[in-house]
Amino acid sequence: MSLKLVQNAAICTEKSLSSEKHVLFILTEKEENELAFGEILRTKLNRINGEYKDLNKTPLIADLPNNGVASFVILSSDLNMFQRHSLLRKALKPLLDEQPTELAMCLFGDDATREAHACAAYYVATVNVTELPSRKKEIKFKLLKNISIYGHKASHDYNYVNARVAGNTLCRQLTITPPNELTPTIYRQKIVTLAKLNGWEHEEFDMPTLKKIGAGAFYAVGQGSYPQDAAIVHLTYTHNNPKKHIALVGKGICFDTGGHNIKPAKYMQGMHEDMNGSAVALGILLAATQQQLEVKIDCWLAIAQNHIGPQAYKQNDVVTALNGMTIEVVHTDAEGRMVLADTLTLASRKKPDVILDFATLTGSMISALGDRMSGVISNRPELSCKAVGAGVIAGERIVAFPYDEDYESDLDSDIADIKQCTLEGGADHIHAARFLGRFIENDVAWLHTDLSSANRKGGLGAVQSDTNGFGVGFGLEMIKSLLA
């Protein structure tokens, strides 16, 4: 997206806004006596028996004398980033729904307040005007070309925000793409293109290679699809002076039927988005590259499909993973932890400082949190604490769950080293983490993110689309916290 940003330190006036058709007013708790179009705001509030302070809960939309439209909102000082993003999304939605080519933002408050509000509003506006995949015949999409910010002129041009938007957009574009247009073969081709564009090192472990090296957990899932085009893809970004070595791991199941334990139609709907974890990892990698973070990032993508066929793996199979552990298959719809097991082993053998993995992994995490937040589990308590803090900064809410050893006794097998899962369900999000942790070598610090909030009807936080790219902002902040 090519967007022109104009920043003007002068307070906006009715004269300066005379040509603006779509205007966002970001106010403080203190009423501004010289607010442009303030009389329109006060009159409308009086008509609906509102009070000025109520704008910190619900934005107000008003027509302007020049046939334009304005949205008024208060961002109170006690709001956290998620609340600010959510309120800005609601305030901007009626403006952006008209697909304007120009948008104006008017800021009030002290310098620090204006800077924070400008950054948040710019992010929410730009992340919601990027084009997403649509196959509707009649749809016409107009790009936002200009954003004018009145009342604040920063010493920078928000390129770091643009990088986060680019990462989030890539994540959503890939996740939304229909499954016939994002098979493992096509996905891998797209990744090759991304690698060339961004200067990433690229290698692939295809099915013959995985079989040869003994990655039986991944291979068990990939063997059920035709063609057998599953692969573990490895990308690397390296800054000239890296301060840390971080691995990203993403679950990339391009479509999940459930395998022999086939999903009913209700739960198979949307299973093309089961590759969201890999898209989040790619989005973080892209944003970190564009921000030129001082880090080396190994990005490992477990790309496959979970299909039914003569060679598909089945209940009671026993397979041997890359690290030599034997796994008793209990449920073929627990394929995510199978492909991640061998991928985590490969990632940990590079001995990074930290591994961050992302996956739409368990229904039990959705049962625990719903679709408004995502959960993390770590083999280092301090990483879980950092994750919660990073989520607060990013406006993507994170909840930490335990990693207690006694949960693993539920995965004891009579025939193999470990069971893949249980049939009883229960705390499957914790069982999955205990399972995955067995495949990390060299005692590498590791944080697992179960993306229960990857899709929420009506949007979440800053993002209007149901598929919201949750995790890209959080992952970026997590890396920055590790570099601090």
Residue 481 has what pLDDT? Answer: 97
Q: Which of 107, 125, 156 is the last residue of a domain?
A: 156
Do 144 and 172 belong together in one domain?
no
When pLDDT is cut at 50, 70 and 90, the band that residue 15 belongs to is confident
Number of compact structural domains in the chain: 2
CA distance 350 to 346: 7
Do 112 and 205 belong together in one domain?
no
CA distance 25 to 42: 13
Catalytic, out of 44, 145, 153, 263: 263
Mean pLDDT of all residues in 203-231: 98
CATH of the domain at 54: 3.40.220.10
Mean pLDDT of the chain: 94
When pLDDT is cut at 50, 70 and 90, the band that residue 52 belongs to is low
Do 58 and 107 belong together in one domain?
yes
pLDDT digits (tens, 9 = 90+) for 183-216: 999 999 999 999 999 999 999 999 999 999 999 9
CA atoms within 13 A on the CB side of 296: 12
Which H or E run contains 266?
A: helix 265-268
When pLDDT is cut at 50, 70 and 90, the band that residue 46 belongs to is low
| Strands 354-359 and 244-256, bridge-based pairing | parallel
Return the C-alpha torsion angle 467, 303, 339, 280, nearest 10: -40
Mean pLDDT check: name the lowest of 131-135, 195-199, 269-273, 399-403.
131-135
Do 176 and 73 belong together in one domain?
no
By residue count, the chain amounts to 484
CA distance 200 to 145: 30
Residue 141 has pLDDT above 80, yes or no: no
Contact between 286 and 235 under an 8 Å Cβ cutoff? The reply is: no
Mean pLDDT of all residues in 164-185: 98
When pLDDT is cut at 50, 70 and 90, the band that residue 161 belongs to is very high
Do 150 and 167 belong together in one domain?
no
Catalytic, out of 21, 114, 172, 337: 337
Residue 478 has pLDDT above 80, yes or no: yes
Mean pLDDT check: name the lowest of 139-148, 266-275, 295-304, 329-338.
139-148
Do 135 and 196 belong together in one domain?
no
Map residue 122 onto helix, strand or coil. helix
Percent of the chain with pLDDT over 70: 97
Instruction: At 418, list the tokens.
Output: 């470990």
Instruction: At 403, list the tokens.
Output: 């990693």
Task: Tell me which residue range forms the domain holding 251.
Answer: 163-483
Mean pLDDT of all residues in 169-184: 98
Give one DSSP letter per residue of 326-386, joined into a string: EEE---TT-HHHHHHHHHHHHHHHT--SEEEEEE---HHHHHHHTTS-EEEEESSHHHHHH
Do 346 and 427 belong together in one domain?
yes
Map residue 12 onto helix, strand or coil. coil
Contact between 480 and 246 under an 8 Å Cβ cutoff? The reply is: no
Residue 184 CB: number of other CB atoms within 10 A? 25
Contact between 364 and 261 under an 8 Å Cβ cutoff? The reply is: no
Residue 316 CB: number of other CB atoms within 10 A? 8
CA distance 412 to 354: 28
Do 240 and 383 belong together in one domain?
yes
Q: Which of 125, 156, 187 is the last residue of a domain?
A: 156
Helix axes 159-176, 472-483, angle to 10 degrees: 140
Looking at residue 59, its amino acid is P
Q: Which of 136, 156, 176 is the last residue of a domain?
A: 156
CA distance 426 to 403: 15
Sign of torsion, CA 159 163 169 170?
Answer: positive
Residue 31 has pLDDT above 80, yes or no: no
Residue 33 has pLDDT above 70, yes or no: no
Residue 50 has pLDDT above 70, yes or no: no
Residue 32 has what pLDDT? Answer: 61
pLDDT digits (tens, 9 = 90+) for 450-471: 999 999 999 999 999 999 999 9
pLDDT digits (tens, 9 = 90+) for 368-423: 999 999 999 999 999 999 999 999 999 999 999 999 999 999 999 999 999 999 99
Residue 56 has what pLDDT? Answer: 78
The residue among 301, 272, 297 whose CA lies nearest residue 285 is 297
| Strands 354-359 and 326-328, bridge-based pairing | unpaired
Residue 16 has what pLDDT? Answer: 82
Residue 138 CA to its chain's centroid (Å): 29
When pLDDT is cut at 50, 70 and 90, the band that residue 232 belongs to is very high
Instruction: At 290, list the tokens.
Output: 């564009």
When pLDDT is cut at 50, 70 and 90, the band that residue 24 belongs to is very high
The residue among 329, 335, 315 whose CA lies nearest residue 418 is 329
**Annotation says 135 is catalytic:** no
Mean pLDDT of all residues in 314-342: 98
CATH of the domain at 319: 3.40.630.10
Do 88 and 190 belong together in one domain?
no
Mean pLDDT of all residues in 163-177: 98
Which H or E run contains 286?
A: helix 276-290
Residue 266 has what pLDDT? Answer: 95
Do 174 and 143 belong together in one domain?
no
Radius of gyration of the chain (CA): 24
Residue 336 has what pLDDT? Answer: 98
CA distance 106 to 118: 9
Block residue for tokens 């030129």: 292
**Annotation says 30 is catalytic:** no
The residue among 464, 455, 420 whose CA lies nearest residue 271 is 455
Percent of the chain with pLDDT over 90: 83
Residue 28 has what pLDDT? Answer: 83
Instruction: At 470, list the tokens.
Output: 């949750």
Do 288 and 332 belong together in one domain?
yes
Do 137 and 183 belong together in one domain?
no
Max CA pair span of the chain:
79
pTM above 0.85, yes or no: yes
Residue 364 has what pLDDT? Answer: 97
Contact between 356 and 475 under an 8 Å Cβ cutoff? The reply is: yes
Block residue for tokens 């007013």: 25
